[in-house]
Structure 1
Amino acid sequence: MNFIDAVNKTFTLVDFERNQNFPMHSTFHLQRISEFLDQLSNPHLKIPAIHVAGTKGKGSVCSMISSVLSQSGYKVGLITSPHLHSVTERIRIGYSPIDQNDFIDLVNELWPKVENYNRTSCYGELTWFEFMIAASFYYFEKCDADFQVVETGLGGRLDATNVLLPKVSVITSISLDHTKILGETIEEIAFEKGGIIKSGIPVVLSPQTFYEATEVIKDIANKRNSKLVNVSDLFSVQNVCNFKEFQVFDVKTEHSNFQLELGLLGHHQIENSLTALGAINVLKKSGVEIPQNAIDQGFKNVRWSGRLEYLSTGQSGFELLVDGAHNVYSMECLVREIKNLKYKNLILIFGGFNSHDLEGMLKVLLELDPILIGVNSRHPKSVQASVIDSISENIKFRKRFFYDSVEEGFDYASNISVEGDLILATGSLSVVAEVIESQKEMLPELYQKF
């Protein structure tokens, strides 16, 4: 069995991430993943964990924490989703994705257990996401990882990762997203995210735009006797200096001041870095040795592809920027950052999913007066370019073009761009991934449809 065969075998399981038909959230539960992990001798409980939920910034915060722990000399398992180019990105040691041969071995070893469980389960068959989470925990134990940093997939309370008993829980910025599944108000969504808070285990809360989110998390933490570490009360930032590939700023606490160099761009990443710092402080107070130079190097070396990332365009003269913003709040943050840049014309490559507020995002992007190029990515949930055409018809973009693939849209954007122009690709991580693949001439990882 080769790598693609192994991947396609896993995709014979139900994959709600790529399936157009998503179940009602009320049907979610943790019994199935718990039972399967029990048959694997509960690997998830054998490695100290940091568990991260939220609407925005989860992956970035996970990457920062993992980077700092790795710089401290620890072997760190890292679980994030979705992936950009390969399913191996979801299971990492440090920043290194699981080797393809190791993934094949993992599938070969676990698949008989999957089939046996599915034959006897009282709760139905494992889903693809549940298998990937269980396989990650199992792999980390085999690798003798010292820590595991785990990002939730969707929500938190009923997410398959919520079988952990972490050393610290982390909740990043909360806003409206996946409203058909998690709820249509900030309070409902915050309740789902706050579901990862465990009795007696500290929870770090990032700066919140919505007061209601903070109040819901405070209430859950209080009821579960969980110490709430509110990042807004711990840190303040001064003297921000922005460069093309990094930013430098001063962090002020009650007892000290220090400077951080951060290898990610955008004000929201500064907030994410403070959230990661809050989690690191909790770990240090629990006895984990994390020297200051590891913190400095961890934030300096952090990378998280597809998030406000410049891509090399050689001698073309135009700039290329990609960002995976896919809801209105994230798009507002992105637009604020773009307004600080200098360029002649903005060429916008945009695509999204049926579940996204496409009209809301496009109205926010209109503030940049871009030339719109609507595209359809390969992702099964991606909307057709004709849908973007229909939605954007009454939004007064100065020019609109539409292509049935990201590659075609990117080629056209490159052809019409001149020196000083900025191409921005956004709307979904799948659009971002395909632009990166086109620019870097990467072969895409294509999956069989079941």
Structure 2
Amino acid sequence: MWRVDYQRCTDILAKVHENPHGLPREVRQANVSRLLEALGRPERGLRGMLVVGTNGKGSTCAFAVSAVAAAGARVGSLPSPHLQEPRERIRIDGVPVTRAEYTAVFAEVWRVIEQHGLSVLAQGIFTTTAAVHFRRAGVRLAVAEASIGGSRAAAAELGLDVKVLTGIGLDHTRLLGSSLAQITQAKIEAVRDGDHVVLGRLAPEAATSAERVLKTRTGLSVWRMDHEIHYTARAVGRDGNHGPATLVDVTTPRAVHHDLPCPLPGPHQHHNLAVAIAAVDAMAERGYIREPDGEQLRARLAATSWPGRLELVPHARLGNWTGRVLLEGATNPQGVATVAPEILRHARDDGHSGPPVLVFAAMDDKDVSGMLTPLPSNWPLVLTRTDSHQAADPTTLHSRLSPARQGPCLTAADTPAALHRAAELAGPGGLIVVFGSLRLVGESRTALALQPV
């Protein structure tokens, strides 16, 4: 009998990422549907939402999971990417599966891959393992996050008919196109006839591109931010290290939701919360869930967390060093610019004599200078690389820095070494800011002895 343990699962996935057979991406994408067919269509009967966009997908999904759970329904979710372990990509009611559960479902999927000789993208394996686990667990509702694209994302194969576009920025331009219009088209093409579409706030160029694609579909329901969807936010005191506590009112064509707590820091999360609530209202509109009770909804939203996004570790320890570490998963200039005010707030609240120290890593196709621009150029910087085969090495990152950069710049071979160098620069009680790559955030959480959540 074919056997595999959890470590073997992660080793196989690492090999799949490297594409050892050199097959074109298009071939491996097409095999996702064949794999689902060979598995007996585990996604059949699954209902819910597919969330696409440049930034904000993970937070939007986290809020949506909380809201669906408030309606009394069990909900599966497929976040992308994972931070520390692959099992984080399969969740029920927001809780990751165990290693044993992940291993069992991975073994079922991998046996079929080998039996049929299918070469599949890693995203295809993540999607199919989630679908198989949901079938095993009897879960019929899902909140899925697309990885990069839209129609070409493996999660689009699940056939979820509430489609959510959070927003559009310039990222993954090699795969999606070099303009907002092209990137929007690549993502919004996930929409199929008869879908219910929820659009977040879009720049005019992106909005025009989305409208152009949607006109080619039939039977759609479309709710747009600032048109059919509205929200207002107000501060109601402070929430510890998270800054101002905020309540959000959200209005959709179906309902008005008052005093919704937004526990994730930053004004951009108010928008993500509103988009998530609109998408959940769309699911209720389609009869997939009942209307959430207001008190239950507020309680569930208040408990929402999403690690690695402005996640503050207030009493971090690295060897003999103790201080604060802020983990932020922004992976493009737009994302960094969005969270920069919150990073600056943490720097002001630090009460430390020296400036924060930045630890930065990125994939080799990223705009390094653009990602660093929103933060002060005199802050010390430690460049490193993650264990991803797509990561840029520190020398390459250094060559892409702006000539106007003023602060000291060091390099480190890997994430743990970079954190220790940053601790030396920050001094006891100082602040380290980790950003640029979600893989870097995940490796930093592991180095800080934080458990996957």
Instruction: Tell whether the structures are fold-level matches, with TM greater than 0.5.
Output: yes
Matches within 5 A, 1:301-380: 301-313=303-315, 318-341=323-346, 342=348, 343=350, 344=352, 345-366=355-376, 369-380=378-389
Alignment check: 8 A CA contact 2:248 2:262 kept? no
Instruction: Give the Å deviation of 1:268.
Output: 1.3
Letter in 1 for 2:272: N
SS in 2 for 1:340: helix
Instruction: Give the Å deviation of 1:428.
Output: 0.5
Question: Which position in structure 2 is the counterpart of 1:236?
Answer: 231
Question: Which position in structure 2 is the counterpart of 1:275?
Answer: 275
Instruction: Give the Å deviation of 1:29.
Output: 7.5
Alignment check: 8 A CA contact 1:318 1:422 kept? yes
Alignment check: 8 A CA contact 1:167 1:202 kept? yes
Distance 2:316 2:122 in 1: 39
Q: 1:215 aligns with which of 204, 208, 211?
A: 208
Alpha-carbon distance change, 22 to 420 in structure 1, aligned in 2, over 3 angstroms = farther
Letter in 2 for 1:267: P
Deviates more, 1:346-355 or 1:94-103: 94-103
Deviates more, 1:166-175 or 1:31-40: 31-40
Alignment check: 8 A CA contact 2:181 2:209 kept? yes
Alpha-carbon distance change, 420 to 333 in structure 1, aligned in 2, over 3 angstroms = farther
Alpha-carbon distance change, 97 to 131 in structure 1, aligned in 2, over 3 angstroms = same
Question: Which position in structure 2 is the counterpart of 1:447?
Answer: none
SS in 1 for 2:164: strand
Alpha-carbon distance change, 222 to 280 in structure 1, aligned in 2, over 3 angstroms = same
Instruction: Give the Å deviation of 1:402.
Output: 1.6
Distance 1:394 1:65 in 2: 43
Distance 1:10 1:138 in 2: 17
Question: Which position in structure 1 is the counterpart of 2:404?
Answer: 395
Mark the runs of 5 or more structure 1 residues left unpaired by the alignment.
119-123, 445-450
Q: Which whole-Å deviations, capped at 9, do the CAs of 1:397-449 have from their partners, x for residues lacking one?
A: 2222221122122112223324774321101112111222222266x9xxxxx
Distance 2:183 2:129 in 1: 28
Q: TM-score, normalised by structure 2?
A: 0.88
Alignment check: 8 A CA contact 1:20 1:381 kept? no
Distance 1:270 1:230 in 2: 15
Instruction: Give the Å deviation of 1:56.
Output: 0.5
Identity of aligned residues (%): 22
Distance 2:180 2:73 in 1: 37
Question: Which position in structure 2 is the counterpart of 1:65?
Answer: 64
Distance 1:137 1:85 in 2: 21
1:245 maps onto 2:242 in alignment:
yes
SS in 1 for 2:62: helix
Question: Which position in structure 2 is the counterpart of 1:43?
Answer: 42
SS in 2 for 1:359: helix
Distance 2:391 2:248 in 1: 41
Q: TM-score, normalised by structure 1?
A: 0.88
Distance 1:382 1:400 in 2: 19
Alpha-carbon distance change, 433 to 19 in structure 1, aligned in 2, over 3 angstroms = farther
Alpha-carbon distance change, 393 to 294 in structure 1, aligned in 2, over 3 angstroms = same
Instruction: Give the Å deviation of 1:20.
Output: 11
SS in 1 for 2:336: helix
Alignment check: 8 A CA contact 2:369 2:400 kept? yes
Question: Which position in structure 2 is the counterpart of 1:111?
Answer: 110
Alpha-carbon distance change, 6 to 423 in structure 1, aligned in 2, over 3 angstroms = closer
Q: Which whole-Å deviations, capped at 9, do the CAs of 1:322-362 have from their partners, x for residues lacking one?
A: 10111111111121322334145121111111011112212
Alignment check: 8 A CA contact 1:372 1:397 kept? no
SS in 2 for 1:306: coil
Alignment check: 8 A CA contact 1:68 1:298 kept? yes
Alpha-carbon distance change, 211 to 430 in structure 1, aligned in 2, over 3 angstroms = same
Letter in 1 for 2:213: I
Distance 2:446 2:338 in 1: 25
How many residues matched? 432
Instruction: Give the Å deviation of 1:301.
Output: 1.1
Instruction: Give the Å deviation of 1:366.
Output: 3.5
Letter in 2 for 1:376: R
SS in 1 for 2:400: helix
Question: Which position in structure 2 is the counterpart of 1:175?
Answer: 169
Instruction: Give the Å deviation of 1:256.
Output: 4.5
Mark the runs of 5 or more structure 2 residues left unpaired by the alignment.
none
Letter in 1 for 2:84: H
Instruction: Give the Å deviation of 1:257.
Output: 6.3
Alpha-carbon distance change, 3 to 216 in structure 1, aligned in 2, over 3 angstroms = same
Distance 2:448 2:196 in 1: 43
Alignment check: 8 A CA contact 1:30 1:163 kept? no
Aligned CA RMSD, in angstroms, stands at: 2.6
Distance 1:258 1:31 in 2: 44
Instruction: Give the Å deviation of 1:73.
Output: 2.4
Alignment check: 8 A CA contact 2:109 2:125 kept? no
Question: Which position in structure 2 is the counterpart of 1:121?
Answer: none
1:417 maps onto 2:419 in alignment:
no
Q: Which whole-Å deviations, capped at 9, do the CAs of 1:115-156 have from their partners, x for residues lacking one?
A: 2221xxxxx622332122112111101100131111112211
Deviates more, 1:418-427 or 1:311-320: 311-320
Distance 1:167 1:157 in 2: 13
Alpha-carbon distance change, 389 to 9 in structure 1, aligned in 2, over 3 angstroms = closer
Distance 2:295 2:212 in 1: 36
SS in 1 for 2:261: strand
Matches within 5 A, 1:150-165: 150-165=144-159
Alignment check: 8 A CA contact 2:67 2:277 kept? no
Distance 1:346 1:339 in 2: 9
